[in-house]
Structure 1
Amino acid sequence: MRLAVAGVVALLGVAAGGVVSGVLAQSASPAPGPAAAPPNPEWAYPANPPVAEFDATVEHTLPGSSRKYTQAQVENDFTPPDWFPEDHPPMPVVVATGRAPAVKACSKCHVTNGAGHPESSDIAGMSEAYIIRQMTDFKEGRRKGARAGSMFPIAKAVSDEELREAARYYAALPRVAWTRVVETDTVPKTELRVGGMRFPVANGGTEPIGNRIIELPEAPERAHLRDSRMGFVANVPVGSVKRGEALVKGEGGLTPACATCHGQDLKGIGEVPYLTGRSPMYVFRQLNDIKIGTRAGPSAELMQPVVAKLSQDDMLAISAYLATLPR
């Protein structure tokens, strides 16, 4: 429209010696563009710190496990730990060790139980079709959010058979209790370590939570070893759970009720994923990525009108409430 008006002004202005009506001149002034989206909040999009050298001599143990791993083995993309093999069915090679150099072991980030960490994704019990579709979206560039970069080379390099094996493995896993939600005004001061996982700063004191979700390991020393039996505490602002419940139920008119597509219990229907008991930081990130367009594809397009009117605070509240629901 602005270019069209500018063209009319140019034609009339030159032909009439530059005399243009006040209305037309006003119309020719730059029209305000759409409001810029707020920047991605740092708490939801943790940046990976520089890769460090990890000790390859000291072997670590965990209570209840007979296995031992050095920190170098724990952090190696092709030798992630399997502390409790009795907790899960046999893992396919692509899940257990991957295939060097590009196909990292799935269990490195999603863990042997599929629950993942806040910087990755909870995929235990997802349908095979959903997992395969998301990997296809990564491969074809439809999922390209700020935390999605590590998936691109894996999705491009993994074979169809490896993908089916991984999807079948994770789809068959039961969902374990993994995220505990706490409403609070203050949280420990934190720092990011390898992989973008957040840990409390030793003797760092506390700080206001503000409008953030801060997820921390239940047992930091065990999370550092990627323990598959210890989950996370999701600290959320006071009042966010109640507000999120109202939004999830469609109250207030900002968004339709989530149950419309995700089922009355919000545990998914077919390829529509479950929403309950997930990392609220991860859920927020997906809602935000869909809203700003960095997560695309057919399923994301269905969600775009759902998130169109939601602010970041709204999405935080929705994510906090969903995390309180039974898995």
Structure 2
Amino acid sequence: MVFVPPPVAHGADGPPEWAYPMTPPDFKPAPDDGVPRRVPNSSATYTLTQLRDRFIAPVWHPEDHPPLPPVVAQGRKPDVFACGFCHRADGPGGPENSALAGLPAAYIVQQMNDYKSGARRTAVPKRNVDLMIGLAKAATDEEIAAAAAYFSALKPRQHTRVVETDTVPKTFIIANHYASLPSGGKEAIGKRIVEMPEVLEQFMHRDTHARFIAYVPVGSVARGEALVKTGGAGKTLACVTCHGPDLKGVGPIPGIAGRSTNYVVRQLYDIKHGFRAGALAALMKDVVVKLEEEDMLAVAAYLATQAP
């Protein structure tokens, strides 16, 4: 395995590269050695081949959730991958995608329809959103409804610890997210967020109990709190206006408390620049129009500190 350091800088005319990490095209995973993999507090075992199979959603902790519907557990070959493969069995997701647990069912259905119609894209093509677009076009209405009903009934958990700092561990990119270099070392954080699993192997094994650290610049959380609660003196509309006083959502409006920092930044950027243009995203257009990258960073940092 070759560790390639991620870019720190970003172009002023494009999306922030730090929020859209992409696995290097020449990355090669370690071969399956046949040894069963385990995770803490689980009696289950899976091989690396099984853990990399997009038609298998590993169930490490069955006591945490109801039985998975077929589309979540194994999908449908050849084009409908198991929802629980990327988003995990009970929907916590990770920095590279969205948490689904507790989202309104109607919201999930709408997002799938937006992927299908082309209304929801991303500023950086060929990331995992391309998989969602293809999957959405292949999935039936019944499969989408079953997945939406399952994930919406689950209780979301807070799994990200936010740390304000001037320096961060040196990282590499794997599976469209960051991980700390085994060789160690530190570097300046600059104006970015570095979000990574606390234990890389646990997350790569798709353990739903995996936790994350989001390193953010000093002062980000307080600045984000002001934007979220008051709108920052006209910079934006207070998030609590639509997402509720506890930021846990209202009706079809999704909760935003406790979400992945990098995911939030990507959505704010994509909405501002027209890459998300569905019905619900259109409501956000005026909200994000004045937000700069540092504002998005601050909002994401504060939201991640809140219980979902």
Map of 1:240 onto structure 2: 220
Are 2:161 and 2:305, in contact at CA under 8 Å, matched by a contact in 1? yes
Q: Distance in 2 between matches of 1:65 and 1:111?
A: 15
TM-score (ref. length: structure 1): 0.86
Are 1:56 and 1:73, in contact at CA under 8 Å, matched by a contact in 2? no
1:215 matched to 2:192: no
1:168 matched to 2:149: yes
Are 1:57 and 1:70, in contact at CA under 8 Å, matched by a contact in 2? yes
Are 1:277 and 1:323, in contact at CA under 8 Å, matched by a contact in 2? yes
Map of 2:6 onto structure 1: none
Map of 1:49 onto structure 2: 24
Q: Secondary structure at the match of 2:63?
A: helix
Map of 2:63 onto structure 1: 86
Q: Distance in 2 between matches of 1:265 and 1:87?
A: 24
CA-to-aligned-CA distance 1:170-203 (integer Å, 9 cap, x gap): 001011221111111111111111x212211111
- The count of aligned residue pairs is 291
2:15 to 40, 59, 68: 40
Task: Report the more deviating stretch, 282-291 or 196-205.
Answer: 196-205
Map of 1:144 onto structure 2: 121
Higher RCO by CA contacts (8 Å cutoff, separation 6 or greater)? 2
Map of 1:309 onto structure 2: 290
1:158 matched to 2:135: no
1:112 to 81, 85, 89: 89
Q: Secondary structure at the match of 1:149?
A: helix
Q: Distance in 2 between matches of 1:37 and 1:238?
A: 22
Map of 1:103 onto structure 2: 80
Q: Distance in 1 between matches of 2:191 and 2:117?
A: 34
CA-to-aligned-CA distance 1:127-155 (integer Å, 9 cap, x gap): 11000000000000011102421201100
1:177 to 158, 163, 167: 158
Map of 1:321 onto structure 2: 302
Note the aligned Cα RMSD (angstroms).
1.4
Task: Report the more deviating stretch, 59-68 or 275-284.
Answer: 59-68
Q: Distance in 1 between matches of 2:19 and 2:156?
A: 23
Letter aligned with residue 243 of structure 2: H
Q: Distance in 2 between matches of 1:144 and 1:176?
A: 27
Q: Secondary structure at the match of 1:293?
A: coil
CA-to-aligned-CA distance 1:81-108 (integer Å, 9 cap, x gap): 2111121100011101111111011011
Q: State the Cα distance separating 1:268 from its structure 2 match.
A: 0.6
Are 1:56 and 1:72, in contact at CA under 8 Å, matched by a contact in 2? no
Q: Distance in 2 between matches of 1:63 and 1:317?
A: 33
- The 5 Å alignment of 1:175-324 reads 175-193=156-174, 195-249=175-229, 250-324=231-305
Letter aligned with residue 209 of structure 2: R
Letter aligned with residue 104 of structure 2: S
Unaligned runs of 5+ in 2: 1-10
Map of 2:109 onto structure 1: 132
Q: State the Cα distance separating 1:56 from its structure 2 match.
A: 5.4
Q: Distance in 1 between matches of 2:274 and 2:65?
A: 36
Unaligned runs of 5+ in 1: 1-35
Q: Distance in 2 between matches of 1:56 and 1:124?
A: 33
TM-score (ref. length: structure 2): 0.91
Letter aligned with residue 102 of structure 1: D
CA-to-aligned-CA distance 1:226-253 (integer Å, 9 cap, x gap): 1111211111111011111111121321
Distance 1:52 1:73, change over 3 A: farther
Are 1:179 and 1:231, in contact at CA under 8 Å, matched by a contact in 2? yes
Q: Distance in 2 between matches of 1:44 and 1:156?
A: 26
Letter aligned with residue 87 of structure 1: D
Letter aligned with residue 95 of structure 1: V
Q: Distance in 2 between matches of 1:67 and 1:157?
A: 31
Higher CA-based Rg: 1
Letter aligned with residue 64 of structure 2: D
